[in-house]
Chains A and B, each alone.
Chain A
Amino acid sequence: MRIAALVVLSFSALLYAAAGTAAEDDGVKLLKPHFEFNSETLLRGAKLFASRCLGCHNLKYLRYNRVADDLGMTKDEVEWMLMTPRGAEYNKGMISNLDTDDAANWFGTAPPDLTLEARYRGRDWIYTYLKSFYLDPDQPLGWNNHLFPKVAMPNILAPLSGARDAQGNILEKGSMTPQQYDQAVADLTAWLQYASDPSILQRKKLGPWVIGFLVIFSLLAYLLKRAYWRDIH
């Protein structure tokens, strides 16, 4: 019996371990971002996204008013801090002004929508990707990426991070220290994780109550069961 139970337990453990995002992607070790998942982190990430990414990338499923509710912002704050694209609408998704046909002509491919990117690629992938750019004169836009070789996207965060060559030597200093840049990219990663599933805030708020209720329910059910079964031997 115990052996059979062990088999079953190892079943789930094995499956769990077998799945999931690989810790490595094409030989590049994925780095883990360090951030506290709270509204301050998300707001910093959101502002960075709105100022540096929303020029080309959409978060089409994520509406500004949803962000306002989730991060406790007023409409004015959202308009001022996040609604950077021309003609952005408060009740609509975060859509850039970039025309996808133009973008496909300029970059060779249209910048992907990033709403679900953290789910699709994984949180660590995004963090590592944004830290893996290097200058490569052979590339059309002068940038290449260790994690995503020949990626069409240039290193848009270079003014912050500075520029490195393929070996990691700093060629040009950015406006941020490496520590500050890591923190900024971690914030951005946290923001994209939120964007890929905004229910995470509700889930974490609601979870303890639901599970707490069920634990108490189970306890009472157990006592009831014991009372009924007292006369069974």
Chain B
Amino acid sequence: MNGIFKWINDRFPFREMAREHLTEYYAPKNFNIWYIFGSLALVVLAIQIVSGIFLLIHYQPNDKSAFDSIQTIMYDVNWGWLLRYAHTTGASMFFIVIYLHMLRGLMYGSFKAPRELLWMIGFAIYLVLMAEAYLGYVLPYGDMSYWGAKVITSIIEAIPFVGDWLTSLVRGGFGIGTETLNRFMAYHVVLVPLILIALVVAHVLALHQVGSNNPDGIEIKAHRGPDGRPLDGIPFHPYYTVKDVFGMGVFLVLFCAVMFYAPTFNSLFIEHANYTPANPLKTPPDITPAWYLSPFYAMLRSVPDKLGGIVVLAVAVVLPFFLPWLDRNPVKSIRYRPVYFAMVVVLGIAVIILGWIGMEPATPALLLPGRICLGLYLLFFLSLPVVSRIEPTRNVPERVTS
């Protein structure tokens, strides 16, 4: 056995990689529950890829048979229901995990130097994931798939001069149909997952280059022992691998509880309105996106002008990329920044309300709350350069607290 390992290691840096990323990658010892979601995102990614491969075997990207092929999976394919529910539950779980992971980064200042690029890659993953989820949502070709495809691709029409041309390029024609499903499947199954996996690898490499942040937001590398190891660091393997395996177990209990007992999750994870085949002749009364996209949809609807809405949306999506430079305070963690803490809470509430508004029918009564929340969202980023310079901070400890 050792002979085989030696033979491989002479030809492939297996041992060096394991050392660099597992046994000699030192992570702070004071991680709390917020630090589980990165690993869980990898678990969900694996679930999505495996279940997705099996779904692809039975799916037919054709406007006549797409909806029926999904039902074939649900009614006739052995364990097809399990695969599909794993995929639909996984899609929503992906966003739950990612949103919590991002909130963690905001809370403990994990986006700040030297982790700016790590944050930007991570935020790019989130945007790519939204595209992936949206493309996958269209494939079953239920009524909401169809109208969702139509409404979202029509956003492109607002682009001056090339809008119409670009829209029909994306749709594969003037309307939504087989051509749309063909290309959406190619994007959903090949293009976007490849980008996603490449970004995830880059995210992990960037993390291991700079080292993990921790709830105190201080650098463990500042205090090293005589052997050069960070005093407050412990090897990722075995300490965090065993901890994450436990976390994964708990997560899978929740995952399976949804999958076996509430797969549609009260129409949140699989919308009831999508349980009828696409009908191009009849616009449904309310077209609302899946829950994980609804905050941005609410922002879009808050602006009366189509192009204006898209500009606001673009700003809202691009602003978080600049967060590492908008925040000027050297203190990272909300534990020692009471004002910033309050700002994060307000941001969280604003996004939640936007998410709720985005799923409701568009009524004038919700316009003002939507605009206020959009304002609060933008204000978080735009006020940060000033607030972070003048906000009071508490004393940051030298070493991590447990």
A, B co-complexed: yes
A binding-site residues for B, Cβ under 8 Å: 1, 3-4, 7-8, 10-12, 14-16, 18-21, 61-63, 66, 115-116, 119-122, 196-199, 202-204, 206-207, 210-211, 214-215, 217-218, 221-222, 224-225, 228-229, 232-233
Is B74 interfacial (CB 8 A cutoff)?
yes
User: Would B246 and A4 count as touching, CB distance under 8 A?
Assistant: no
Q: How far is the CB of A81 from chain B (nearest CB, A)?
A: 21
Bound CA span A1–B341, Å: 9
B2-10, B17-25, B181-189, B344-352: which lies at the interface: B344-352
Is B393 interfacial (CB 8 A cutoff)?
no
User: Lowest 9 CB-CB distances: which A-B pairs, in order?
Assistant: A218-B249, A207-B260, A199-B81, A20-B266, A221-B246, A120-B275, A119-B275, A19-B268, A7-B348
User: Would B75 and A224 count as touching, CB distance under 8 A?
Assistant: no
Knowing A21-B272, A198-B75, the reply to whether A119 touches B250 (Cβ < 8 A) is: no
Instruction: Enumerate chain A residues within 8 angstroms of B260, measured Cβ to Cβ.
Output: 203-204, 206-207, 210-211
Bound CA span A47–B230, Å: 72
Task: Render B339-377 as a binary contact track against A, CB cut-off 8 A, 1 for contact.
Answer: 001001100110010011001100000000000000000
User: Would A19 and B242 count as touching, CB distance under 8 A?
Assistant: no
Knowing A16-B265, A199-B81, the reply to whether A211 touches B253 (Cβ < 8 A) is: yes
User: Would B238 and A217 count as touching, CB distance under 8 A?
Assistant: no
User: Would B267 and A19 count as touching, CB distance under 8 A?
Assistant: yes
User: Would B249 and A15 count as touching, CB distance under 8 A?
Assistant: no
Starting from the known contacts A11-B355, A198-B75, 5 additional A-B residue pairs (CB-CB under 8 Å) come to A7-B348, A8-B103, A11-B99, A15-B355, A218-B249
Closest to A205 in B: B260
CB contact between B252 and one of A10, A63, A214, A228 (< 8 Å): that residue: A214
Is B76 interfacial (CB 8 A cutoff)?
yes
User: Would B291 and A15 count as touching, CB distance under 8 A?
Assistant: yes
Interface size class of B (residues with CB under 8 A): 35 or more
Closest to A203 in B: B260
Knowing A61-B74, A122-B272, the reply to whether A214 touches B253 (Cβ < 8 A) is: yes
Task: Render B236-247 as a binary contact track against A, CB cut-off 8 A, 1 for contact.
Answer: 001100110110
Bound CA span A115–B402, Å: 56
Q: Using a Cβ cutoff of 8 Å, how many contacts connect chains A and B?
A: 136
29 contacts between A and B (CB under 8 A): A1-B32, A4-B348, A7-B345, A11-B355, A14-B355, A15-B352, A15-B359, A16-B268, A18-B356, A18-B360, A19-B267, A21-B272, A66-B76, A120-B276, A198-B75, A204-B260, A207-B257, A207-B260, A211-B253, A214-B253, A215-B253, A221-B246, A224-B242, A224-B245, A224-B246, A225-B243, A225-B245, A228-B238, A229-B243
Instruction: Enumerate chain B residues within 8 angstroms of A221, measured Cβ to Cβ.
Output: 242, 245-246, 248-249
Is B310 interfacial (CB 8 A cutoff)?
no
Q: How far is the CB of A233 from chain B (nearest CB, A)?
A: 8
User: Would B239 and A229 count as touching, CB distance under 8 A?
Assistant: yes
Is B29 interfacial (CB 8 A cutoff)?
yes
Instruction: Enumerate chain B residues within 8 angstroms of A12, measured Cβ to Cβ.
Output: 96
User: Would B275 and A225 count as touching, CB distance under 8 A?
Assistant: no
Bound CA span A16–B268, Å: 7
CB contact between B356 and one of A15, A20, A62, A196 (< 8 Å): that residue: A15
Q: How far is the CB of A196 from chain B (nearest CB, A)?
A: 8
Q: How far is the CB of B258 from chain A (nearest CB, A)?
A: 11
User: Would A7 and B71 count as touching, CB distance under 8 A?
Assistant: no
Bound CA span A108–B355, Å: 40
Is B168 interfacial (CB 8 A cutoff)?
no
Instruction: Enumerate chain A residues within 8 angstroms of B256, measured Cβ to Cβ.
Output: 207, 210-211, 214
Instruction: Enumerate chain B residues within 8 angstroms of A198, measured Cβ to Cβ.
Output: 75
**CB within 8 Å of A: which of B164-191?**
none
Is B234 interfacial (CB 8 A cutoff)?
yes
Bound CA span A55–B96, Å: 45
Closest to A15 in B: B291
CB contact between A3 and one of B74, B85, B239, B345 (< 8 Å): that residue: B345
Bound CA span A222–B68, Å: 44
Q: How far is the CB of A108 from chain B (nearest CB, A)?
A: 15
Closest to A215 in B: B253
User: Would A11 and B352 count as touching, CB distance under 8 A?
Assistant: yes
Instruction: Enumerate chain B residues within 8 angstroms of A222, measured Cβ to Cβ.
Output: 246, 249
Closest to B80 in A: A199
Instruction: Enumerate chain A residues within 8 angstroms of B250, measured Cβ to Cβ.
Output: 218
Knowing A116-B275, A207-B256, A214-B249, the reply to whether A197 touches B74 (Cβ < 8 A) is: yes
Is B273 interfacial (CB 8 A cutoff)?
yes
Is B100 interfacial (CB 8 A cutoff)?
yes
